[in-house]
Structures are given as C-alpha cells and as structure tokens.
Amino acid sequence: MDLRALGESFIAMLENMGIPEGWVLLINWVLGALAVLVVALLLAIFLIWYERKIAGRVQDRLGPNRVGPWGLIQPFADALKLLTKEDITPDKADRITYNLAPIIAVFHILMLFLVIPFADKVVGANINVGVLFLMAFGALGTLAMLMAGWSSRNKYALLGGFRVVAQLLSYEIPVGLAMLTVVMLRGSMNLNTIAQGQGGVFGLGWYVWILPAVFVLYFVAALAEGERAPFDLLEAESEIVAGYNIEYSAMKFAWFYLAFFLNTWVLSAVAVTLFFGGWQGPFAAQLPILGVFYFFLKVFIMFFVFAWVRATFPRLRIDQMMSFCWKALVPMGLALFLAVAIVLKLGLPSAATNALLFIVNVVILFATLKLLGNYTKDLSHNKNKRLFAPELPRL
C-alpha cells in the first residue's frame, strides 16, 4: 500500500518496456500532474457540498438534500448546469484580461496543491522552498482578482478589485509572519520536513501546542486570505453586489467559485501541515495509507471550522478590517517572531524551551487581546467615525 513503492514499480515497468529514460521521466511527471489535478477537482466538488451542508446545519436548515443521497450529487448537477449556461461577456469589458482572469485564478490554486504533503513524502513536488512556493503562487490569486475587477469595467467589480488589494495584500503579511515563525522553529521551508518534525504520541509534538498564538494569528489571517466571513468584504453582497466576479457567468464564474473553495481547502491544509502534524497520527509511520486518511480527516475538521466561522459571524467594516490587520496582527506577528527567536537562542533543554515558548505565546496572545479590548472600548478615536452615525461608504 506504499504509494511511493507503487510509483517506483510503475517506473521500473516502463523502463523494462524499453522506453528511454527521459520519456519515462516525462510520463511520470504527466501522470503525477494529472493525479494532483484530479484530486483537486474532486475535492472542489465535494467541498461545495460540504460547506453548503455545514452552513445549512448552522443556520438550522437542511442544506442540499434533493439530488442523490443527502444531496451528494448536487454539486455535480450544479457543475453540469454551469457548463451549459450561456457565457456573457460585457461589451465594454477588456476581453483579453477578462478571459485571462479566471484562467489565472484556477492556475494559481492548482499550483498550490503541488507542495502539500498528503502523507510522508506523498507530495507533488517535495521542494526545499515549499513555504515560499505557497506565498508566491498564493499572491498570484490576488492578481487574478485584480484583473477580473479591472477588466469587467463595472463599478462594483472595480470596487471589489480595490478591496482585494486592500485586504488580501495586507493579510498576506500576518500569514507570512506566522509561517516564518514555524520555519524558524523547524529550520526548514520544506513542508514535508515541517510535518515530519511533529511526531510523538497523541499529537503531543504538534506545533500548535508549542506556538498556539502563532496558530491563532495564522488562522485569523487565513480567514481573510480565504475571503471568508467575517472578512468577506471583497464580495460583500450588501455593498458591492458580488465584488470582482460580478460580470462573470457560466464556466468562468465556476472557475472563480472553484478557486474560492479550493483556496480555503489549501489554507486549511497548510494550517494542518504547519500546526497539526500533517499526516501524523497513530500507526501512520507503519501504514502510509493511514497518513493520507489522517491528513484528510484533519483538513476536513479544519475546513469545518472555517465554514463554521463563515456561517456564524457578521461582516466587519473595511476600516475595522484594515486597522485590525496593521495595528493588531502585524505587530503581534513581529512580536511573536522576535520572542520565539530569543527563546530558541536561550540554549535551554528542549522540554524547557517548549514550555517557555508556550508561555510566551499565551502571554502575547492575551496581551494582544487585552490591548484590542481596550482599543475598542475607548471610543475617543471613533469620534468622527461611523460607529454612531452610519454614512454611505466612500469610494
């Protein structure tokens, strides 16, 4: 059942058939790429059902329940419908950019799947700069939304595009700082290596126990990166209708939709890999297929939390959101980075270091919460703001 052994025996089989080595490598790559692609697409279809079901349950509804058992076939029906819908391109739109935007959106999200370790060494590309790869191609998504917002030549879309920059760019910094702290603890940017370092019985080696505040930082920033409530201002339907993808219909809209769901999944998968031990679990070392199971289990639990938060919290105002990022999360991230660096260099035995890291994390987390609480209670800086006198949001 070892997936790697399976792949190696397949390569050996091809070589025995007399195919030159270069071509065997190419075939291997194409098959690997197709496997990742299929996994990503199946996931997207399942995630739509999963999220709708969660949202339904949270809001005391049933969710999809008509097509197939428990509505499981619903996303397929939706996909089929979107596939056959008429595609409308506004006459005023900038056609090249307009059509390129959904392609870039899908491209960037599929690329992210390459570096996620599903089990020990079962990873598309086991590169040493995995974390940077995530940041690099994650940033491409921002660009796709910006392109969509600009090229539609629609006021709402353009406003959505501006909000994309304001929100996604800003929250990339806390995400990067959280990743940076984990990288520093492990001394590697390879996601597989990071997950490997979190062994131990009952998940005691998970970094979430050592760096709880870093996880909170990552999670909150990831909510914003995934355009999820309470940070879904990009597509705030009550303000800008649908945001950057307002003029998109049929399959092009479907691609944005897919990118949105897969983005949340990737953010959950990264959270699991960085903080919850990735594929680690009982007997995962003996039976690699169990690792895949544990990994997906953890990611779906994490995704559930994302969906739960989305279905529960109301939306923030844009000024609150920006202040929250730059005045709370970024200083918190920098403080955590410095504190963790200093504690790691104290030269204590590893158990004492871990305990001290935990204490430092908790202290910083509560200090941030306390300062935030004081800040929101103190209304003096809110004098001319919309807190008491709502006014129309300015462009």
Partner 1 sequence: MVGQILFIFIAVVTLLMALGVVVARNLFHAALFLIGVFFGIAALFILLEAEFLAMAQIIIYIGAIATLIVFAIMLSKGMMGRESGAYNKQWYFAGGAMVFFFGLVSWLLVKMPFKTISAQVPNDAIQQIGSGFVGHYVVPFEVASVLLLVALVGAIMLARERNS
Partner 2 sequence: MLVQQYGLIGVFAVIAFLFPIVTLAFTWLIRPKRSNPLKNSTYECGIETVGDAWVQFRAQYYLFALIFVVFDIEAIFLFPFAVAFNKIGLFALVEAIIFVFILLVGLIYAWKKNALEWQ
Per CB under 8 A, which region of 30-38, 61-69, 149-157, 377-385 contacts partner 1?
A: 149-157
Among 63, 106, 110, 142, binds partner 1 (CB under 8 A): 142
Per CB under 8 A, which region of 128-136, 244-252, 306-314, 369-377 contacts partner 1?
A: 128-136
Nearer to partner 1, 96 or 352 (CB): 96
Give the footprint of partner 2 on residues 147-166 (CB under 8 A).
Answer: 150, 152-158, 162, 165-166
Q: Least separation, in Å, of the C-beta of 317 and partner 1?
A: 20
Among 92, 96, 285, 362, binds partner 2 (CB under 8 A): 92
By a kind-dependent CB cut-off of 5 to 8 A, residue 12 interacts, out of partner 2, partner 1, none, with none
Q: Least separation, in Å, of the C-beta of 330 and partner 1?
A: 13
Q: Is 395 in the site for partner 2 (CB under 8 A)?
A: yes
Q: Is 136 in the site for partner 1 (CB under 8 A)?
A: yes
Q: Least separation, in Å, of the C-beta of 17 and partner 2?
A: 21
Among 63, 71, 75, 124, binds partner 2 (CB under 8 A): 124
Q: Least separation, in Å, of the C-beta of 86 and partner 1?
A: 26
Rounded to whole angstroms, how far apart are CA atoms 286 and 291? 9
Among 132, 251, 309, 335, binds partner 1 (CB under 8 A): 132
Per-residue x/- track, 177-206, partner 2 (CB under 8 A): x--xx-xx--xxx-----------------
Rounded to whole angstroms, how far apart are CA atoms 135 and 166? 17
Q: Least separation, in Å, of the C-beta of 130 and partner 1?
A: 9
Q: Is 146 in the site for partner 1 (CB under 8 A)?
A: yes
Q: Which of 341, 347, 379, 380 is nearest to 360 (CA)?
A: 341
Q: Is 135 in the site for partner 1 (CB under 8 A)?
A: yes
Q: Which of 104, 107, 94 is nearest to 157 (CA)?
A: 94
Q: Is 322 in the site for partner 2 (CB under 8 A)?
A: yes
Give the footprint of partner 1 on residues 77-116 (CB under 8 A).
Answer: 94, 96-97, 100
Q: Is 189 in the site for partner 1 (CB under 8 A)?
A: yes
Find where tokens 């303000």 sit: 239
Preceding peptide of 174 cis, ω within 30°: no
Helix H, strand E, coil C: the string for the chain is CCHHHHHHHHHHHHHHCCCCHHHHHHHHHHHHHHHHHHHHHHHHHHHHHHHHHHHHHHCCCCCCCCCCHHHCCHHHHHHHHHHHCCCCCCCCCCHHHHHHHHHHHHHHHHHHHHHCCCECCECCCCCCCHHHHHHHHHHHHHHHHHHHHHHCCCHHHHHHHHHHHHHHHHHHHHHHHHHHHHHHHHCCCCHHHHHHCCCCHHHCCCHHHHCHHHHHHHHHHHHHHCCCCCCCHHHCHHHHCCHHHCCCCHHHHHHHHHHHHHHHHHHHHHHHHHHCCCCCCCCCCCCHHHHHHHHHHHHHHHHHHHHHHHHHCCCCCHHHHHHHHHHHHHHHHHHHHHHHHHHHCCCCCHHHHHHHHHHHHHHHHHHHHHHHHHHHHCCHHHCCCCCCCCCCCCC
Q: Is 158 in the site for partner 1 (CB under 8 A)?
A: yes
Among 74, 118, 170, 245, binds partner 2 (CB under 8 A): 170
Per CB under 8 A, which region of 45-53, 168-176, 202-210, 294-302 contacts partner 2?
A: 168-176
Among 139, 344, 348, 372, binds partner 1 (CB under 8 A): 139
Q: Least separation, in Å, of the C-beta of 3 and partner 2?
A: 15
Q: Is 22 in the site for partner 1 (CB under 8 A)?
A: yes
Kindly list the residues in this chain that would bind partner 1 in the complex (CB under 8 A).
22, 94, 96-97, 100, 127-129, 132-133, 135-140, 142-143, 146-147, 150-151, 153, 158, 161-162, 165, 169, 172, 189
